[in-house]
Every structure is written in structure tokens, then in C-alpha cells.
């Protein structure tokens, strides 16, 4: 009762106080002024706070960073991997948008149904494979990385829960096998693991394109001609290249067998192996070109020098013989044109091992080439380079090099005397590059003339490399391969190769062709030598590639042919006629 009375009294007091504040019972001017001032102050403060708040918010909105809703699309992402082009701008490798198909097993209601429905849409996967993949304890199971737009639509149409498609990028090689060993490969993260993709990874990864020196048209010509001959002679494989001798640019570089870089995982080691740059071989008689050039350059031989080849040469218990024995002395030109091992050995004896080794070193034959490919090889050469080594190296045994090594070195002897490091990157107009003079113009003129006679003379070993209208010079090499897991050579397993230069009176292009273990055939009368196997490939390449390379057929009577070749050569006791050139 008492508490009730107290509450009623308090409520009445508050109400009367409020009433007096709103409607003062006794107007007092001073008091009223004070109250008005207080009201004004409070209202002003509230208004100021509102304005301040609005202003502060406006400033915050202006200066704040709101990527999430305003301009997220403008933010620059990581650079797309650069493309690889050939020297004429044809696309060899590019990165395309693609979709990854993946699954989250926890979200899948019926794995069997999913496996059954997806199997026809994933290349090379059975329902059992998919079911097995879905049983893994992971929330991200990748099912396919190459989803085409058509399959994309079909998968979406299935409407399977737990199956997702995420945008990604895919490295594609539209020319498939054509330049497989050159372009190489990237791994699942897009990092180069082979070929140019690996060696130029930094440049490609930063989004910059790479322009190769290779011409895809010439590449196709070399590849087709070589593949046809490998098939014809049931060979294991082969390698071929075309090089611009003036700039060192490789216009073509082929290794067979090859593979489709779009299906890299399906290829075997044999196909992935780059014979043109990674394989080292004893090249055989094509080294006689270098032997002759060194002899002429050092003055240890002249065109008039004669060498007795009538009997086999006995060296350290071994007998050096000729494939076609001659029962007389041969001059320097004949030693090369008839490919005499005995004659070459005698020339090398006169040169001496030290000088021979120093030339091999200058010609880049004792080190790994500076080619823009990770798949290069270090040559194999004797630790003790003595008389016996010098003799065998003279005709291409005892020193194992890759086709790229051989091309770089022989280009100096069969070209204009300069050694230029072979390159796979297109040279820019007016680009300066290193070239070292190894042989004089006089030496190379004589060597080229002899190489021309190897093709043009009836007793030369590369008659099948002749192409009417084009002056081709060449040297063949048929080397027995070393036995695998045993000492000595396998007489039935040959490595046949031909190195050629054209046009020989104005050397521009060098062609190298190698066929590994060709088998004797009926159509070759049981022969499987370089002259039968590799020389026709040279002719085919010249015939098809010369017009593409802008090399025009020449008139035999054109004065530059006589001027640029040595006409004072004697073969078989007779002077070589200008017509032979």
C-alpha cells in the first residue's frame, strides 16, 4: 500500500516536471533564455554530428578500395604463356582456354550412375576407371583436362551433382609431330620440361613469344623425305637438318621416330629421343671433309700430294682398309672423292694429333653445343689423342658427335670458312653474331670442288644426290655401329649419313641426313650404304626445298660457277671437266 503510494508520487513528479519544461507555469525571461540556449546547443550538436558522419562516410567511400564490387574485371591477372612460331610466323605452340572436369565424391549421390554416364564423355576412361577414381579419399578428383565445347555441353546436360567444370588453359601443338622434338613439352602446371618449352621457359612464362629459325615447310619436306627412306630401307630411325651456313640458323631439324606433343604421355622413350641433337654417333667418312680441309689449311697437303693406298695400313695391330681398293697412289682430291680410309689416315699422320685436336676444338666438336635445346650431348673423344686416334678420327671413328655438331663444323669447311654456332632462334635483320674464321677462302673453294665431284663424278659415292639444275656438293659416310654391351663394331649395323652443301659454287645451305641401321634391299641390289640410302634423300630435299628457299637453278655455263670452284682437280688421271661441276 505504502510502496504503491510512493510510485504514484514519483510518476506524478516526473510528469509535472516535463509539463513545466514544455509549458512553464510561470514565465521567467532569464530562465526561458537559458533553456532556449540549451535546446539550441543540443540541436546544433546533433545536426553537426549528422553532417560530420555523412561527410566522413563520403570521404571513406571515395578513398576506399572496393575491388570486390566495382572494377574487379580490370585487375591484371598473370601473363598467359607466350606462343612459339616458326620463321614465317606459323604457329607451333599456343595456350588455349580449356576446362577441367573434376569431382567431389562427398557431393555425389550415386557414384555408379555418375561413372556410367560420364564414361562415354571422357576419352580413354571406362566406368570402372571412373568409379575407382571416385572412391579415393579426396574432395578434388580430376577426371579430364581436355574438355571440348561439345562434351562440355553434354556434361552440363547430365546435371550430375558433385561434378564440376573449372576453366583452365591448355598448351596445344597444332602441327602435331612436325616439330615435336623442337617445341618440346610442358608439365601439368605449364612449366617447360623439354625442347624450346624448357630452354626458353622464362621468356615464354613471362608472356613473350619465341620465333624459331625453323621453316615449317622445309621441316615437312625433310621429315617426309627422311621418313620415306627409313620405311623403304626398314631402318630404326634417322635425323635430318638444313642449316643456313651464313647465319648458323637451323631451317629444319628432324629426328625420327617422333611423337605427337599433344599426346606426350602416350609416346615412348625411343620416340622422345632427339637423335639430331642428343644422340652422339661416329659419323664415318663425312669427317674426311674436315681432314682434307685441315690438311690444305695447315699446308701439310696440296692438290698435288699423292698417297699410296694399294695396301691396307697396319696400325697397332689393326688393319685399315678401303671399301673400294685402288692399286695405285691417289691424290688429295681422289682420296675424298673415292672416300679412301687409307689415304685419309696418311693425310692425318701428316697433320699430327695436336693440330687435328686443336681444329676439332675450334670447330666446336669437343664440347656441348650452345643450341637452345636442353637435349644436347657432350661429344665422346679419346682421353689420349695420339697417332692412332688421329688416324681413326680422320675417317670418322673414335670421335662421337651429334648431327648438329657435325653440321656446325662441316659448314665451316664446305661454306665460306667461318665457324658459326648453330642456332634455333631466328636472327633479326642486321643482327650481329659471332663467327670465327677457321679456313681460308682458297681451302674452302678446293674442298667444295671436291665435294661437288663426290656427287658429279661417275666414281663419286653420292651420285644419287645429283639434282639437275642445282649444283650440290656432298660427302657420304657409312660407319659401322659399335656393339651394344661388347667391344668392337657390328659389321651388319651401319649408320649411313650424307652431308651436302648447295649451291656449291655460292654456298648457302647445308643439309645433313642420317639413317640409322638401314637393311639391304632388293631394289638397292643388296646395298645399304650412304650413297644408296641417304644420298637420294638429299636430292629430294634439294629438289623440293630449293624453290622455297629462293635458290634458283643455274646454267652450267654461268661464269660464277667456274670462278668459285677449283677447276684444276685431277680424278683418275684426267682433269675434272667444268661440266662435272
R_g over Cα of the chain: 40
Q: List CB contacts of 515: < 8 A, sequence separation 6 or more.
A: 226, 229, 230, 233, 235, 238, 495, 496, 497, 533, 534, 537
- Closer residue to another protein (CB): 363 or 545: 545
Q: Given the complex with another protein, which of 23 and 60 has the nearer CB atom?
A: 60
The string over 107-139, giving b where at least 16 C-beta atoms fall within 10 Å of a residue's C-beta and e elsewhere, is ebeebeebbebbeebbeebebeebeebbeeeee
Taking the complex as a whole, how short is the minimal distance between the CB of residue 68 and another protein, in angstroms?
12
Gap between the Cα atoms of 511 and 251, Å rounded:
10
Q: Which is nearer to another protein, 44 or 161 (CB)?
A: 44
Alpha helices in 299-423 (DSSP H): 332-337, 341-351, 353-362, 387-394, 403-414
CB of 516 to another protein, least distance (A): 23
Closer to another protein at the Cβ: 22 or 74? 74
Alpha carbons 479 and 320: distance in angstroms, whole number = 14
List of residues 6+ apart from 272 with CB closer than 8 A: 181, 194, 259
The C-alpha atoms of residue 416 and residue 406 are separated, in whole angstroms, by 16
Pick the closer one to another protein by CB: 217 or 473: 217
Q: Which helix (H) or strand (E) holds 92?
A: strand 91-103
**In the bound complex, what is the minimum distance in angstroms from residue 211's beta carbon to another protein?**
15
Nearer to another protein, 221 or 320 (CB): 221
For 145, the grid coordinates are 583436362
**N-terminal to C-terminal alpha carbon distance within the chain:** 141
Considering beta carbons, is residue 118 or 467 the nearer one to another protein?
Answer: 467
Cβ(391)–Cβ(436) below 8 Å = no
Q: How far is the CB of 576 from another protein (least distance, A)?
A: 23
- Residues lying near another protein in the complex (CB under 8 A) are found at 41, 44, 47-48, 51-52, 54-59, 61-62, 66, 70-74, 90-92, 94-97, 172, 174-176, 178, 216-217, 219-221, 224, 467-470, 543-544, 546-547, 552-553
The active-site residue, picked from 213, 285, 339, 580, is 285
**CA distances from residue 16 to 10, 26, 36 in whole angstroms, order as listed:** 10, 13, 19
Contact of 278 with 377, CB cutoff 8 Å: yes
Q: How far is the CB of 469 from another protein (least distance, A)?
A: 3
The verdict on whether 389 is a catalytic residue reads no
Query: What is the Cα–Cα distance from 310 to 295, expressed in whole angstroms?
Result: 21
DSSP 3-state of 168: strand
List the catalytic residues.
Answer: 285
Amino acid at each position: 500500500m505504502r510502496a504503491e503510494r510512493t510510485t504514484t508520487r514519483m510518476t506524478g513528479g516526473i510528469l509535472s516536471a516535463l509539463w513545466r519544461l514544455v509549458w512553464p507555469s510561470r514565465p521567467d525571461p532569464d530562465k526561458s533564455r537559458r533553456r532556449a540556449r540549451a535546446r539550441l546547443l543540443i540541436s546544433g550538436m546533433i545536426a553537426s554530428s549528422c553532417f560530420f558522419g555523412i561527410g566522413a562516410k563520403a570521404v571513406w567511400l571515395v578513398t576506399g578500395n572496393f575491388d570486390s564490387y566495382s572494377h574487379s574485371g580490370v585487375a591484371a591477372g598473370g601473363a598467359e604463356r607466350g606462343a612459339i612460331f616458326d620463321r614465317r610466323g606459323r604457329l607451333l605452340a599456343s595456350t588455349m582456354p580449356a576446362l577441367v572436369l573434376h569431382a567431389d565424391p562427398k557431393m555425389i549421390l550415386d557414384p555408379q550412375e555418375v561413372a556410367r554416364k560420364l564414361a562415354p564423355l571422357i576419352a580413354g576412361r571406362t566406368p570402372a576407371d571412373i568409379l575407382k577414381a571416385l572412391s579415393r579419399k579426396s574432395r578434388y578428383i580430376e577426371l579430364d583436362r581436355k574438355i571440348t565445347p561439345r562434351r562440355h555441353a553434354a556434361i552440363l546436360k547430365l546435371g550430375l551433382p558433385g561434378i564440376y567444370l573449372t576453366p583452365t588453359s591448355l598448351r596445344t601443338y597444332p602441327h602435331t609431330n612436325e616439330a615435336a622434338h623442337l617445341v618440346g613439352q610442358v608439365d601439368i602446371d605449364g612449366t617447360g620440361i623439354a625442347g624450346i618449352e624448357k630452354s626458353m621457359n622464362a621468356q615464354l612464362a613471362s608472356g613473350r613469344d619465341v620465333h624459331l629459325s625453323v621453316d615449317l615447310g622445309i621441316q615437312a619436306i625433310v621429315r617426309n623425305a627422311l621418313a620415306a627412306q627409313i620405311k623403304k630401307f626398314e631402318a630404326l630411325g634417322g635425323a635430318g637438318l638444313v642449316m643456313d651456313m651464313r647465319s648458323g640458323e637451323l631451317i629444319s631439324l628432324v629426328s625420327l621416330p617422333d611423337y605427337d606433343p599433344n599426346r606426350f604421355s602416350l609416346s615412348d622413350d625411343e620416340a622422345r629421343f632427339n637423335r639430331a641433337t642428343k644422340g652422339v654417333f661416329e659419323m664415318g667418312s663425312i669427317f674426311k671433309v674436315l681432314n682434307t680441309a685441315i690438311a690444305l689449311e695447315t699446308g701439310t697437303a696440296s692438290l698435288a700430294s699423292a698417297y699410296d693406298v694399294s695396301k691396307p695400313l697396319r696400325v697397332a695391330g689393326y688393319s685399315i682398309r678401303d671399301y673400294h681398293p685402288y692399286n695405285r697412289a691417289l691424290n688429295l682430291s681422289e682420296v675424298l672423292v673415292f672416300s679412301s680410309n687409307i689415304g685419309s689416315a696418311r693425310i692425318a699422320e701428316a697433320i699430327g694429333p695436336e693440330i687435328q685436336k686443336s681444329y676439332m676444338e675450334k670447330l666446336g666438336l669437343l664440347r656441348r653445343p650452345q643450341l637452345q635445346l636442353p637435349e644436347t650431348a657432350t661429344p665422346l673423344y679419346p682421353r689420349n689423342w695420339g697417332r692412332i686416334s688421329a688416324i681413326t678420327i680422320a675417317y670418322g671413328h673414335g670421335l662421337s658427335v651429334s648431327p648438329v655438331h657435325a653440321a656446325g663444323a662441316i659448314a665451316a669447311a664446305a661454306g665460306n670458312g667461318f665457324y658459326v654456332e648453330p642456332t634455333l632462334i631466328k636472327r633479326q635483320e642486321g643482327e650481329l653474331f659471332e663467327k670465327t674464321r677457321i679456313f681460308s677462302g682458297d681451302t674452302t673453294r678446293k674442298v667444295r670442288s671436291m665435294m661437288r665431284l663426290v656427287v658429279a663424278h661417275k666414281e663419286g659415292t653420292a651420285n644419287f644426290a645429283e639434282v639437275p639444275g642445282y649444283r650440290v656438293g656432298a660427302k657420304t659416310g657409312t660407319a659401322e655401329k659399335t656393339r651394344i654391351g661388347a667391344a668392337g663394331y657390328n659389321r651388319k649395323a651401319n649408320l649411313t649419313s650424307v652431308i651436302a652443301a648447295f649451291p656449291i659454287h655460292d654456298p648457302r645451305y647445308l643439309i645433313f641426313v642420317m639413317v640409322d641401321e638401314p637393311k639391304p634391299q632388293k631394289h638397292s641390289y643388296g646395298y645399304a650404304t650412304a650413297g644408296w640410302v641417304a644420298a637420294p634423300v638429299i636430292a629430294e630435299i634439294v629438289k623440293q626445298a630449293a624453290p622455297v628457299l629462293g635458290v634458283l637453278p643455274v646454267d652450267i655455263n654461268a661464269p660464277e660457277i667456274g670462278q668459285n670452284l677449283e677447276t684444276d682437280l685431277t680424278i683418275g688421271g684426267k682433269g675434272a671437266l667444268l661440266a662435272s661441276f
